[in-house]
Structure 1
Amino acid sequence: MRKKDILELKKRLKKDHCTFTKMCGCYVNGEKHTILKFRETFLNLDEDEYFKYLEIAKKVLSGTIGNNILELNFPTNEDLINERQVSLMQLKNSQLKDDALLDDFYELIINNYDYTGNFLILIFHDAYDVITKTKDNSKIDESEEVYEYVLCAICPVSLSGPGLRYFEEENKIKARIRDWVVDPPTNGFVFPAFIDRSSDVNSIMYYTKNAKDTHPELMENALGCYSRQTATVQKETFQSIIKDSFSTDENKADKTFMEIQENLNNMIDEYNSMYDDTDCEPISLTNKDIQNLLIESGVPEEIATKIEKSYVENFGDDLPLAENLIDPKALKANEQRKKEEHLLKQVEVLQTRLEQIKQESAVDDETQLPAETNDDNVILEENEDINLEEASKTDLEETLETSSNEVQDTNLEDNEVNPNYDVILQVKPEKIPQIKSQIIDGQKCIVIPINEDEQTTVNGLDDLI
């Protein structure tokens, strides 16, 4: 199912392009009792109603594929007849003129829609003369086929909120009458599906407003299809599978999940780099892919086995697309974590090296020749060694300071300074233990010892202290 197929249908739902023939509806209350049934010739509707109903139909073709629009498939079994598929075909072929077929359809929705409250079932019939297109998308004035379909929208009907309004006849402000208002659809479908600019009677385009509340009972019981999870649900399920496998070790679970996310993202990038065609089929994450992913991420064998088993139990044959399992926030957090770890490691290495140089310098001081020696060459060599050591120490200290500042700056990137702070300090790491809080003349102060050879800057101004 492609986005451009859905857009092609949606673009036609305008005043001058819409070809809906009939529209039927059934209003149901919270006790699942039918209150009203109606049938309208769509083009004969009043203009206000026409556009309101048209907006409802458009919503069923809105959202993202994989999250709001799912491709549902009927079970393929040549020995069994899918009654739901047959009844939908009959409804479509009747062009919504058969009351018995409509009543059966309404009952099917009412009995299998898990919803508390009033709702309206709307169903539209359309016949779209699909115009031939050349490879460069130029239209040719001839038809490839007539795509005949029905579009169903299920809309909650809610009581408007209490309020005041102006009554012109009485010239008064009084409490307004609360009305039952038809809301935008929460679920719906198009049958047959429109795939590759053609009718696919073995598929349904299913719409859900809430990606976390898809009403699988409608997919399975009312429409007779296999239920599908949205990308949002798949991503959350995948994250739960990984993290639940580590029991109470949350830190280990989070770190492993971020590693898996990075490796999964790299796998997708490698696949995409192999194909220049933007319409290439996205990859599904098979059980074998999961095994390789866990090995590459360094997951222990015992936990990896648990994850693989849970993956099969949750997804079965309905394998999720790899891109649906990517969590951009986890990728960003992992990148930040690795950057900080790298910088901290650099600081540790430099600190160790600095300590070594100090120790070597101390040993050299103890073994220096007396100053009164007349061996000018020896004294010169010693002075050269001392200068080199001092230069090395200076370079290392500067690098250490730079690396420490980079770590601090890295942490500040994702944690902006609170604008309510009046005093913000940034000192070298070795000065931190010297900072004290002290009461001076009844005023709480921050005391930082400053040596004669140390320089300071406050708000960009040097040597104010």
Structure 2
Amino acid sequence: MNNEELKEIRRQYKKKNKNFNIYRVAYSYVIPAIPETQIPSFEIKDWEDFREAEQEIFLSIFKKALSGKIGKNLMEYEFEREAGQENGYQKKLYTLNKSLLKDEELVTKLRDEIIANDGFNQKHLITIASCEYLVPVLDKNGEVIPDSAPMPFQFLLGCINEVDLTDIGLFYNPDTANMEKKIDEDMHVLPKVLDGFMFPVFADRGADISRLLYFTAKPKEPNDGLIEVLCGREAELPYDREQQNFAGLISDLAQDELSLQLIQNLQENVREMISENPDSEAFSLSKNEMENLLSNSGISEQKMDRFSAVYDNQVGKEELKAVNMIDTSKLAVKMNGITVNVKGDVSDKVKTQVVDGKRYLMIEVDEGLIVNGIDMIK
């Protein structure tokens, strides 16, 4: 699922959309407790039975579960399958999706598994929506083919939101004609989505049941228990760990060859790789692909002789996603008290130079220089 496909689905969550339908929504209000978790509210409700104001709130929440950056907040997990055998996790979600949430037993079974493993100690709301998008048929130029029948894409969208006391601060009390602090009594579903999922994913204008999309509000701390419940997989490396592993690989391998030019070469080559893979923003590099990248970026053959050992030590069996290895949008230079950010497409204007035995960061100034709003070149 690429970024354009993600945006296309997210755009559908709006009122009066003839190409999009939410059949029903199942929600459970969960109060973790010892020895037994309480579920004071559970309901499976047709979308039309919600009031318009409630629908607007749900639509806003659902869009948040599809927000963020692929490879960071949003991760795809493929269902692992043995030859000739079906995947039980995949079958569970597939069956629930086909049921349109009409089977209460299927809904409560998944909900109870989530509650037992999601790791939340605070009150929260688990919501699962049965959705359908009527996908327009496009020609080779990306235009909708007139009078063509749209293709239905049916999917589940799940969200977990924290529930807490309201805190609206001061309010006007007409009985006393004063501004007063409102007493916090009502429980409020916070709009921020903590975790979410979508099954199946939307790819190549249709459903791909081999994968699940997982959302987290804390990309550095993915919810291992929830991921295990949904697809039977361990959580992939968080984006910051991938970045750290890549940085460690470069530093350990390049050593005295490490330079600003090498980093700029890596940045440019990774940017080019991403542009050549428009169908998947979160594609990963194999060990061989990584070796070619580093060699083509300027690390010497002598240093590359150590590549395999250094890679195994710094990266191990994981494959790093290109979007998380290095920031391709800008060149960020930091030193004590100084930070310089340069857009990636003009990073070639930055270089280092030794003058009188001291290293300097040199920035080419050709068209203008503005300091604190003052034009220095006229």
Q: Report the TM-score range of the alignment, normalised by the length of the smaller protein.
A: 0.7 to 0.9
Query: Alpha carbons of 1:106 and 1:270: their partners in 2 closer, same or farther (altered >3 Å)?
Result: closer
Structure 1 SS opposite 2:69? coil
Give 1:333 shift: 3.2
Query: Alpha carbons of 1:49 and 1:330: their partners in 2 closer, same or farther (altered >3 Å)?
Result: closer
Give 1:231 shift: 3.8
- Supply the AA of the counterpart residue of 1:127: E
CA contact (8 A) 1:130 1:146 kept: yes
Give 1:222 shift: 3.2
Mapped pair 1:190 → 2:190: no
- Supply the AA of the counterpart residue of 2:288: K
Q: 1:339 aligns with which of 343, 351, 367?
A: 351
**CA distance, structure 1, for counterparts of residue 272 and residue 197 of structure 2:** 35
CA offset digits 1:292-327 (Å, max 9, x no partner): 5566435857975552112442x52xx223343114
**CA distance, structure 2, for counterparts of residue 79 and residue 327 of structure 1:** 41
Structure 2 SS opposite 1:181? strand
**CA distance, structure 2, for counterparts of residue 289 and residue 409 of structure 1:** 33
Q: 1:228 aligns with which of 208, 224, 236?
A: 236
**CA distance, structure 2, for counterparts of residue 109 and residue 40 of structure 1:** 20
Structure 2 unaligned blocks of 5 or more: 335-346, 373-378
Query: Alpha carbons of 1:158 and 1:257: their partners in 2 closer, same or farther (altered >3 Å)?
Result: farther
Give 1:51 shift: 0.3
What residue is the counterpart of 1:181 in the other structure? Answer: 188
Query: Which has the bigger relative contact order, CA under 8 A and spacing at least 6?
Result: 2
**CA distance, structure 1, for counterparts of residue 102 and residue 227 of structure 2:** 25
- Supply the AA of the counterpart residue of 1:285: L
Query: Alpha carbons of 1:231 and 1:143: their partners in 2 closer, same or farther (altered >3 Å)?
Result: farther
Give 1:177 shift: 2.2
Give 1:107 shift: 0.8
**CA distance, structure 2, for counterparts of residue 2 and residue 62 of structure 1:** 13
What residue is the counterpart of 2:79 in the other structure? Answer: 74
Structure 2 SS opposite 1:217? helix
Mapped pair 1:268 → 2:270: yes
What residue is the counterpart of 1:121 in the other structure? Answer: 126
Query: Alpha carbons of 1:241 and 1:37: their partners in 2 closer, same or farther (altered >3 Å)?
Result: farther
Compare 72-81 and 189-198 and name the one that shifted more: 72-81
What residue is the counterpart of 2:219 in the other structure? Answer: 211
**CA distance, structure 2, for counterparts of residue 33 and residue 40 of structure 1:** 20
Query: Alpha carbons of 1:15 and 1:281: their partners in 2 closer, same or farther (altered >3 Å)?
Result: closer
**CA distance, structure 1, for counterparts of residue 153 and residue 267 of structure 2:** 39
- Supply the AA of the counterpart residue of 1:264: L
Give 1:257 shift: 7.8
Structure 1 SS opposite 2:269? helix
Give 1:19-168 correspondences, 5 Å limit.
19-31=21-33, 32-139=37-144, 140-161=146-167, 163-168=169-174
**CA distance, structure 2, for counterparts of residue 233 and residue 19 of structure 1:** 39
- Larger strand percent: 2
Give 1:241-256 correspondences, 5 Å limit.
242=250, 245=252, 256=258
What residue is the counterpart of 2:337 in the other structure? Answer: none
CA contact (8 A) 2:27 2:126 kept: yes
- Supply the AA of the counterpart residue of 2:183: I
Q: TM-score, normalised by structure 2?
A: 0.77
CA offset digits 1:170-222 (Å, max 9, x no partner): 43444312132212212111111111110111111221222212213222233
Structure 1 SS opposite 2:41? strand
Give 1:292-331 correspondences, 5 Å limit.
292=292, 296-298=298-300, 304=307, 306-313=309-316, 315-316=317-318, 319-327=319-327, 331=331
Q: Percent identity?
A: 25
Give 1:150 shift: 1.1
- Larger helix percent: 1
Give 1:53 shift: 0.7
**CA distance, structure 2, for counterparts of residue 43 and residue 327 of structure 1:** 45
What residue is the counterpart of 1:358 in the other structure? Answer: none
Query: Alpha carbons of 1:182 and 1:188: their partners in 2 closer, same or farther (altered >3 Å)?
Result: same
Structure 2 SS opposite 1:150? strand
Q: TM-score, normalised by structure 1?
A: 0.64
CA offset digits 1:341-386 (Å, max 9, x no partner): 25x2xx67xxxxxxxxxxxxxxxxxxxxxxxxxxxxxxxxxxxxxx
CA contact (8 A) 2:194 2:216 kept: yes
Query: Alpha carbons of 1:5 and 1:167: their partners in 2 closer, same or farther (altered >3 Å)?
Result: same
Give 1:340-359 correspondences, 5 Å limit.
340-341=352-353, 344=355
Structure 1 SS opposite 2:285? coil
Structure 1 SS opposite 2:137? strand
Give 1:347-386 correspondences, 5 Å limit.
none
Give 1:279 shift: 5.3
What is the RMSD computed on CA atoms of the aligned residues?
Answer: 3.8
**CA distance, structure 2, for counterparts of residue 191 and residue 282 of structure 1:** 18
Q: 2:245 aligns with which of 224, 232, 237?
A: 237
CA offset digits 1:5-39 (Å, max 9, x no partner): 22222222111114111011011123243221112
Give 1:436-451 correspondences, 5 Å limit.
none
**CA distance, structure 1, for counterparts of residue 361 and residue 269 of structure 2:** 32
CA contact (8 A) 1:193 1:204 kept: yes
Query: Alpha carbons of 1:15 and 1:322: their partners in 2 closer, same or farther (altered >3 Å)?
Result: closer
Query: Alpha carbons of 1:146 and 1:407: their partners in 2 closer, same or farther (altered >3 Å)?
Result: closer
